[in-house]
Amino acid sequence: MDHTNAHDDHDQHGTAATEHGDHDRHEGHSVAMFRDKFWLTLVLTIPVLIWSPDIQAWFGYTAPVFPGSEYIPVTLGTFIFFYGGGVFLRGARGELATRQPGMMTLISMAIVVAFVISWVGTLGLLEVEIWWELSTLILIMLLGHWLEMRSIDQAQGALRALAELLPDAAERVTGDGTEEVPLAELAVDDIVLIRPGARVSADGVIVEGAAEVDESMISGESVPVAKAVGDTVVAGTVAAGGSLRVRVSAVGDETTLSAIMRMVEAAQASGSRTQALADRAAAALFYIALGAGAITFLAWLALGEPTEAFVRTATVLVIACPHALGLAIPLVISISTSLGARNGLLVKDRIALERARQLDIVIFDKTGTLTKGQPAMVDVVAVDGADEREVLALAAAVEADSEHPLAQAVVVAADARAVEVHEASDFEALAGRGARATVDGQTIYVGGPSLIEELGVRVDDGLAERARSWAAQGRTVLSVIVDGQVVGILAVEDEVRPESFEAVAELHGSGVRVAMITGDSQAVADSVARRLGIDEVAAQVLPADKAAAVARFQAGGQRVAMVGDGVNDAPALAQADVGIAIGAGTDVAVESAGIVLVRDDPRDVVGAITLSRATYRKMVENLIWATAYNVIAIPIAAGVLAPLGISLPIAIGAIFMSASTIIVAANAQLLRRLKLRPDDVAKPPDGERHAERAPA
């Protein structure tokens, strides 16, 4: 498949939810088709209005008379019926064929009744002729559908924008230089060159070069991300400030971009409880309209008003058209899922999105979710008279040749603090205890309590007290020993993400409790929970027991979300009412979740809940408006206020119906104002701000 075809396929995907989901009545239709039909119908309706006897009488003018002028309304009205109204008639035929009558059927009934009444009047069988009402009715219906299709098309625009992110070709590195090849010819393990300012052509790992990569269309993150050798890049993102050589890891449908598009498309086409309610309401309204139309016709016939019987019945059918009801839910869903995708929130399952608004508690996995998943040195203390920077320099010199995560945390901390590190020699890793090396002629040991015990060295009372305090907080304590004397200690821990503080605070602010599940010790879990203000903790939980732990949180009917990133989180994600996977996590975790966060930012959980609540609110608002409008308008259309001199012409009924549709569409569009992205990361709270929220 060439790239052009790939774009075509993506475009088709972008409209799949429209064509095969909640908008079957528009299968085969397009924005352009409704637009063209509307404008031609408008041009033809103008002379129908000008030469209509009713319009002339109301406005007190006489239209020009010439041979055949009396046939203008009937001729053009008949053409408008088949040309402009044909799309509704075909839609009704499809609905009736599947025994699912809906708005196309109701519209068709209305225009057919108006068409028959007009011809009956033209033939002199009744004193009524409503060609102008038939024409304006069809015109307004075409306008409403055009606006609806435009709204849906705009909602699907995010998918098309994603499809257009891919470049047309890639520069593949060869033994002789580079060659330009179509994307379809790329294979896994190929090396591709990404020039400054160019889009990344495939998912892969950087093997040479460094650049700032704009990932905004994938993650919603507006700030470019620094990338270097060993980092991953995603197809469709933009490199700036340097060139990259990337080893391809995924192509075609296996890329992150394709996966995002599939998730958004699936969400827009998936089931929804609210949509099911709207569908039932629309079906019920069809039969209500039939009943109301029949009662209206018989009542006016009984009053000896056959003309009013036909006109009022047609008006009832027009008013009863559940057009706004049919648009109320699908458009909100399309906008919300697209909005989520643009902000790094991928909704795989609409039911999960609907449930998120009702959550009682959010459970976070600790490692890699609330924390960075890698140890970091967070503190250093020296004995009296010693320099803390020198202690750190000695420790980093010893650990420089070690690949142990704790050792690397020390080296990174020294580099971050611009500490000058001397060369070490005679390095020796002491398994399970630490490491030894010679620095400036001195023997330096770095290790934990077991190393202290093995060497039999004494620890200063002040250092010993600080070490016990760190241990109680769940931190790993490393001692730096110089020539048999402990000169300082280092505290290392799995660093809490700065974003986690804000995420927990915002969840509490929205009335949601926060819990944490971890396999770490109770001391480590309690320390993290105390700092973040987490309400409940489940510590020392084995991977196989995480799902059972989630089930315990669900006891008593609590609605629970689970947030995780690893393979061991997959059963827990599936067990939870709402599974939320960190997008950078494993494929298994992502597949088990209903919502995927593209970024490693726990604050996006708040964004998902915000999106859920706003989406539901818009659905309910639209449903209330759409149904209330019909409940009020149908009796007026039937003529219950006629004794008071209040009547509703067919054309006015059509205007009201279309206005209802426009209101529903405009209300759905207000979702686009929703702010889902968090502001700049807030600093962790000072001191023990959340100490009052002791973990259970």
**Residues tagged active-site:** 365
Range 68-73, long-range pairs (CB < 8 A, 24+ positions): 72/47, 72/48, 73/48, 73/129, 73/131, 73/132
Nearest to residue 398, comparing CAs of 485, 470, 479?
Answer: 479
Q: Which residues contact 78 (CB under 8 A, 6 or more apart)?
A: 115
Residue 483, Cβ density class (10 Å: 0-12 exposed, 13-18 middle, ≥19 buried) = exposed
Tokens of 388: 């803390």
> DSSP label at 71?
G
Contact 394, 546 (CB under 8 A): no
* Residues facing 434 on adjacent strands: 430, 447
Q: Which residue has the tokens 């660093």?
A: 495
Q: Which residue has the tokens 């046939």?
A: 71
CB atoms within 10 A of CB 249: 16
Residue 181 has phi, psi (to 5 degrees) of -135, 150
Measured in residues, the chain has a length of 696
Tokens of 314: 């047609």
Residues 396 and 398: their CA atoms lie apart, in Å, by 5
Nearest to residue 315, comparing CAs of 52, 677, 638, 659?
Answer: 638
- In b/e form, how buried is each residue of 594-623, taking b as 16+ CB within 10 angstroms? bbbbbbbbbbbbbbbbbbbbbbbebbebbb
Residues 405 and 394: their CA atoms lie apart, in Å, by 17
End-to-end CA gap in the chain: 57
Q: SS3 sequence, 364-412? A: EEHHHHHEEEEEEEEEEEECCCCCHHHHHHHHHHHHCCCCCHHHHHHHH
3-state DSSP helix/strand/coil % of the chain, to nearest 5: 55, 20, 30
Residues 409 and 378: their CA atoms lie apart, in Å, by 9
Residues 360 and 561: their CA atoms lie apart, in Å, by 8
DSSP notation for 277-320: HHHHHHHHHHHHHHHHHHHHHHHHHHTT-HHHHHHHHHHHHHHT
